[in-house]
C-alpha cells in the first residue's frame, strides 16, 4: 500500500509538465565533467528545438486555421493560395455571433450542466470512495466489482435502455435526464478510491481514537488530503460535460435547452457557407476549455494518467 | 502505473475493523459504509447498472415503440446477421480500428521519444500536443471538415503543391471519408497516448542505456533492445485502450460525416443509435449492442492473454 503511494508520487513527478527540480544541478555536474560532450549536446539541443518547433506548428495548424478564419469574411476563408493572416481583421464576427445565434443561452446551458454534474459527481464520488476504501463491511468488494464491471461495458451498449427509462420518466428534453445519467458515474468513484487507497489507514485510525465520527474523518481528514484528486476529478468531469455531444444530442430537442456543442453543430448544418462565423463559434466554444486546461493542467494529466479518461 | 490501473484491486483496503468480532459494531459499520455509498449508488444502480442488465435481456426480446415486449430468443441475432447494414457497419468499424490503432500508437511513441528530454520549455510542447485531446469534438470536426474541403481546402492545396494532381475528395467521397475520419482522430488522440508513453519512458532506468552504450550498441539497437522491451507494459495498456476506444467510435463520426456519404462511414455505435433511438427498435438495437460489447470484451481478454504468454 505504501508502495503504491510512492508509485503515485513518482508518477506525478514524472508527469509534471515542467522541469524536474534537480535537472539544472545534474546538467552542471555533467558540464564540469565532460565539456566537449556538453558542447555537442548544445548543438543537438538546438536541432531538437527546431524539429519540435516545426512539429508543433504543423500539429497546431487546425487551431491556427480556426483562429485565422474566424477573423475573415466568408469569401476569404477558402482561398487559393491560403491566407494565414487575414488581409483585413473582421473583428465584427465576434460581436455579430451573439445576435446570429443564441450563443449566450447555449453557453449558459453548457455551464449550468457542467457545474451541476461536476458538483454532484465530486460529492457523491468522494463519499462512495470513502465507503469503498476506509469502511469495512460485508459485500463491499462485490459491490465495487459491479462498479468496475460497468466501466468495461461501452456506454453505447446501454444507451437504448437508458433512453427508454428516461422516456417513461418523462424526462427527455430536459436537463434532468443528463444530470441523472452523468452525475453518478462509476468513473468518479473509481478515480477517488484509487487515491484514497494511498492515504494510510493509520490516519483514520488516529482520528477515530480522537473521537471523530466517520463523517468527521471524511470531511476533516480525507477531503483536505485529497485535494489533488478532487481537482483532477472536477476538471475532467467539467471538461467532459462541456464537450459532450452525444448526451445533449440524444436528449435535448428544443433549441432553448441546447448546449454550445449542439448549437454550434446546428449552425453548421443550417449555414454551411458561413465559414468565418462557424469558426468564430468554434473558437468561442474552445476558449473556456483552454482557460481551464491552462489553470489546472497538472491535475488533468495526473487524473488522466492514473485512470484513463472516460470514452 | 499502467499495470496498476488494470488491476485496481492490487492493494485491498486493510481498514482494521474496530472491535473485531463485535456483532453490533459490524452492523454499525455496514450502516455507516452504506450511508457513504448510497448517494452515488442509487444513481449508479438506476441509470447505469439496471440499463446494462436490461440491454442484455432486451437483446432476446422483440420490443419496439409500438409493441409490447415479447421473448423471441435469438431472432434478433438472426435478423442482424442477415442484415446488410450490420455487416457494413462492422466492416467500417474494423477498418477504422485498423487505421486508428497503429497510427496513433506509432505517432504517440515518436512524439514521446522526442519530448522525453530535459530541455527548457519542453513543457510547452507537451501541453500543445496534448491539447487537441480535450478540445471539443464539434470544433475539431468542423475545422477538419473545412481543412478537408475537396476544392480549395488547405489539405488539398498542400497536396497540389507537392505535385499530387488528383487529390482525394475526402469527406465527400465514399472511398476517402473513412481515411479522413481516421486522420482527424489520430490527430486528436495521439497527445493522450503520448502522455502515457512519456510516463513509460521516464520509468526506464538510465543504467540500462548506459550499459548498452558501453557494450557499443548504436542508437537504433538501443531503441530496439532497451526502449521497446522496457515499454512493453505501457504498449500493452495503450493497445487495449486504443482498440476498445476504436470500436466505440461514435460522436466523431456523427458530427463529421454522419455515416455518409451513403453508408461509407456508418459504424456500429451509430447503427445502435439509429435502430434503437431513431426507429424505436429497442430489442433489435440491443442485439447489436451485445455484439459491440462482446467484441470489446474479446479484444481486451485476448490482449491480456497475449501479454501473459509474453511474460512467461
Handedness of CA A64, A65, A69, A75 (dihedral sign): positive
- What gap in Å lies between CA A247 and CA A270, rounded to an integer? 21
The per-residue pLDDT for A156 is: 87
Residue contact A181–B47, C-beta within 8 A: yes
Instruction: Please state the rounded mean pLDDT for residues B147-158.
Output: 84
The per-residue pLDDT for A172 is: 87
Buried b (16+ CB within 10 A) or exposed e, B86-103: bebbbebbebbbebbbeb
- Contacts A14 to B, Cβ<8 Å: 198-199, 202-203
| Ordered domains of chain B (ranges, CATH) | 78-311 (1.10.3720.10)
Q: Quick check: helix, strand or coil at residue A148?
A: helix
Q: Quick check: helix, strand or coil at residue A279?
A: helix
- What gap in Å lies between CA B55 and CA A161, rounded to an integer? 6
Q: What is the full DSSP assignment across B248-272?
A: T--HHHHHHTTT-STTTT--HHHHH
Q: What percent of chain B has pLDDT over 70?
A: 93
**For the ranges A78-92, A236-250, B264-278, which has the lowest average pLDDT?**
A78-92
Instruction: Please state the rounded mean pLDDT for residues B94-98.
Output: 95
Helix and strand element counts for chain A (H, E): 17, 0
Domain boundaries, chain A: 2-96, 99-307
Identity of the residue in A52, A124, A180 whose CB atom sits nearest the CB atom of B125: A52
Which residue is closest to A153 within chain B, CA to CA? B293
Host H or E run for residue A231? helix A227-243
**Residue A14 confidence (pLDDT) above 80:** no
Question: What mean pLDDT, rounded, does chain B reach?
Answer: 84
- pLDDT-derived band at B90 (thresholds 50, 70, 90) equals very high
- Contacts A283 to B, Cβ<8 Å: 139
- pLDDT-derived band at A305 (thresholds 50, 70, 90) equals low
The per-residue pLDDT for A307 is: 57
Residue contact B118–A27, C-beta within 8 A: yes
**For the ranges A4-18, A227-241, B140-154, which has the lowest average pLDDT?**
A4-18
Domain A99-307 classification at class level: mainly alpha
- For residue B254, the distance in angstroms to the closest alpha carbon of chain A comes to 9
- Contacts A275 to B, Cβ<8 Å: 146
The per-residue pLDDT for A123 is: 93
- Contacts A259 to B, Cβ<8 Å: none
Which residue is closest to B294 within chain A, CA to CA? A153
Instruction: Please state the rounded mean pLDDT for residues A169-194.
Output: 89
The per-residue pLDDT for B21 is: 59
Instruction: Please state the rounded mean pLDDT for residues A91-117.
Output: 89
pLDDT in tens, B210-249: 888 888 888 888 888 888 888 888 888 888 889 988 998 8
- pLDDT-derived band at A33 (thresholds 50, 70, 90) equals low
**Residue B104 confidence (pLDDT) above 90:** yes
Q: Are B263 and B95 in contact (CB under 8 A)?
A: no
- pLDDT-derived band at A130 (thresholds 50, 70, 90) equals very high
Residue with more model confidence, B279 or A13? B279
Instruction: Please state the rounded mean pLDDT for residues A3-12.
Output: 37
The per-residue pLDDT for A29 is: 52
Q: Which of A227, A169, A160 lies closest to A199 in space, CA to CA?
A: A227
* A positions 196-225 inside 8 Å of B (CB): 197, 201, 204-205, 208, 214, 218
* A positions 112-141 inside 8 Å of B (CB): 123-125, 127-128, 130-138, 140-141
- pLDDT-derived band at A8 (thresholds 50, 70, 90) equals very low
- For residue A257, the distance in angstroms to the closest alpha carbon of chain B comes to 17
- Compute the C-alpha angle A139/A143/A148, nearest 5°: 145
**Residue B97 confidence (pLDDT) above 90:** yes
The per-residue pLDDT for A128 is: 93
- Contacts A160 to B, Cβ<8 Å: 55, 58, 272, 276-277, 282, 285-286, 289
**For the ranges A55-59, A117-121, A236-240, B1-5, which has the lowest average pLDDT?**
B1-5
Identity of the residue in B154, B272, B292 whose CB atom sits nearest the CB atom of A65: B154
The per-residue pLDDT for A96 is: 83
The per-residue pLDDT for A19 is: 36
ipTM of the predicted assembly exceeds 0.85: no
Q: Supply the Cα-derived Rg of chain A in whole angstroms.
A: 25
- What gap in Å lies between CA B266 and CA B144, rounded to an integer? 18
**For the ranges A92-96, A131-135, A234-238, B48-52, which has the lowest average pLDDT?**
A92-96
Q: Are A127 and A226 in contact (CB under 8 A)?
A: no
The per-residue pLDDT for A22 is: 45
pLDDT in tens, B162-197: 887 787 888 888 889 999 999 999 999 998 899 889
Q: Are A231 and A297 in contact (CB under 8 A)?
A: no
Identity of the residue in A51, A250, A268 whose CB atom sits nearest the CB atom of B114: A51
- pLDDT-derived band at A21 (thresholds 50, 70, 90) equals very low
Identity of the residue in B1, B244, B268 whose CB atom sits nearest the CB atom of A7: B1
The per-residue pLDDT for B183 is: 94
- The cell numbers describing B267, all together, are 459504424
- Contacts A180 to B, Cβ<8 Å: 43, 46-47
The per-residue pLDDT for A306 is: 62
Residue contact B128–A48, C-beta within 8 A: no
- For residue B72, the distance in angstroms to the closest alpha carbon of chain A comes to 18
Instruction: Please state the rounded mean pLDDT for residues B43-56.
Output: 89
Amino acid at each position: 500500500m505504501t508502495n503504491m503511494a510512492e508509485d503515485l508520487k513518482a508518477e506525478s513527478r514524472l508527469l509534471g509538465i515542467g522541469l524536474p527540480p534537480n535537472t539544472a544541478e545534474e546538467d552542471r555536474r555533467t558540464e564540469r565533467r565532460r565539456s566537449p560532450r556538453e558542447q555537442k549536446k548544445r548543438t543537438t539541443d538546438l536541432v531538437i528545438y527546431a524539429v519540435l518547433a516545426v512539429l508543433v506548428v504543423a500539429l497546431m495548424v487546425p487551431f491556427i486555421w480556426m483562429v485565422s478564419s474566424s477573423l475573415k469574411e466568408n469569401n476569404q476563408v477558402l482561398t487559393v493560395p491560403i491566407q494565414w493572416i487575414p488581409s483585413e481583421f473582421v473583428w465584427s464576427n465576434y460581436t455579430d455571433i451573439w445576435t446570429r445565434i443564441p450563443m449566450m443561452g447555449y453557453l449558459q446551458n453548457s455551464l449550468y450542466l457542467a457545474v451541476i454534474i461536476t458538483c454532484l459527481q465530486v460529492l457523491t464520488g468522494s463519499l462512495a470512495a470513502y465507503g469503498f476504501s476506509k469502511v469495512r463491511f460485508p459485500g463491499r468488494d462485490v459491490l465495487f466489482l459491479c462498479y468496475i464491471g460497468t466501466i468495461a461495458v461501452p456506454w453505447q451498449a446501454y444507451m437504448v435502455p437508458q433512453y427508454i427509462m428516461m422516456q417513461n420518466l418523462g424526462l427527455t428534453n430536459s436537463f434532468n435526464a443528463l444530470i441523472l445519467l452523468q452525475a453518478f458515474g462509476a468513473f468518479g468513484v473509481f478515480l477517488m478510491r484509487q487515491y484514497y487507497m494511498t492515504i494510510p489507514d493509520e490516519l483514520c485510525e488516529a482520528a477515530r481514537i480522537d473521537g471523530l465520527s466517520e463523517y468527521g474523518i471524511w470531511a476533516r481528514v480525507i477531503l483536505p488530503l485529497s485535494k489533488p484528486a478532487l481537482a483532477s476529478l472536477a476538471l475532467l468531469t467539467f471538461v467532459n460535460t462541456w464537450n459532450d455531444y452525444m448526451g445533449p444530442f440524444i436528449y435535448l430537442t428544443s433549441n432553448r435547452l441546447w448546449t454550445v456543442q449542439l448549437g454550434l453543430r446546428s449552425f453548421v448544418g443550417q449555414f454551411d457557407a458561413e465559414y468565418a462565423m462557424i469558426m468564430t463559434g468554434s473558437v468561442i466554444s474552445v476558449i473556456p476549455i483552454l482557460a481551464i486546461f491552462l489553470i489546472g493542467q497538472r491535475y488533468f494529466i495526473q487524473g488522466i494518467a492514473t485512470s484513463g479518461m472516460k470514452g | 502505473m499502467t499495470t496498476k490501473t488494470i488491476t485496481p484491486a492490487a492493494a485491498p483496503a486493510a481498514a482494521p475493523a474496530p472491535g473485531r468480532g463485535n456483532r453490533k459494531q459490524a452492523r454499525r459499520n455496514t450502516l455507516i459504509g452504506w450511508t457513504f455509498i448510497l448517494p452515488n449508488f442509487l444513481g449508479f444502480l438506476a441509470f447505469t447498472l439496471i440499463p446494462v442488465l436490461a440491454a442484455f435481456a432486451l437483446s432476446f426480446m422483440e420490443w419496439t415503440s409500438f409493441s409490447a415486449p415479447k421473448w423471441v430468443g435469438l431472432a434478433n441475432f438472426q435478423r442482424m446477421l442477415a442484415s446488410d447494414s450490420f455487416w457494413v457497419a462492422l466492416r467500417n468499424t474494423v477498418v477504422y480500428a485498423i487505421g486508428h490503432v497503429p497510427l496513433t500508437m506509432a505517432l504517440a511513441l515518436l512524439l514521446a521519444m522526442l519530448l522525453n528530454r530535459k530541455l527548457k520549455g519542453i513543457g510547452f510542447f507537451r501541453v500543445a500536443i496534448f491539447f487537441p485531446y480535450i478540445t471539443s469534438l464539434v470544433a475539431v470536426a468542423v475545422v477538419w471538415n473545412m481543412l478537408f474541403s475537396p476544392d480549395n481546402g488547405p489539405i488539398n492545396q498542400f497536396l497540389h503543391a507537392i505535385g499530387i494532381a488528383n487529390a482525394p475528395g475526402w469527406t465527400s467521397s465514399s472511398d476517402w471519408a473513412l481515411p479522413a475520419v481516421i486522420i482527424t482522430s489520430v490527430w486528436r488522440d495521439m497527445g493522450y497516448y503520448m502522455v502515457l508513453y512519456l510516463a513509460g519512458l521516464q520509468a526506464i532506468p538510465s543504467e540500462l542505456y548506459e550499459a548498452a552504450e558501453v557494450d557499443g550498441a548504436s542508437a537504433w539497437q538501443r531503441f530496439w533492445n532497451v526502449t521497446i522491451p522496457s515499454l512493453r507494459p505501457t504498449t500493452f495498456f495503450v493497445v487495449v485502450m486504443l482498440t476498445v476506444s476504436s470500436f466505440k467510435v461514435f460522436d466523431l463520426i456523427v458530427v463529421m460525416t454522419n455515416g455518409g456519404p451513403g453508408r461509407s462511414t456508418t459504424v456500429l455505435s451509430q447503427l445502435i443509435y439509429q435502430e434503437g433511438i431513431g426507429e424505436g427498435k429497442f430489442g433489435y438495437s440491443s442485439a447489436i449492442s451485445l455484439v459491440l460489447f462482446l467484441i470489446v470484451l474479446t479484444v481486451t481478454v485476448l490482449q491480456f492473454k497475449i501479454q501473459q504468454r509474453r511474460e512467461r
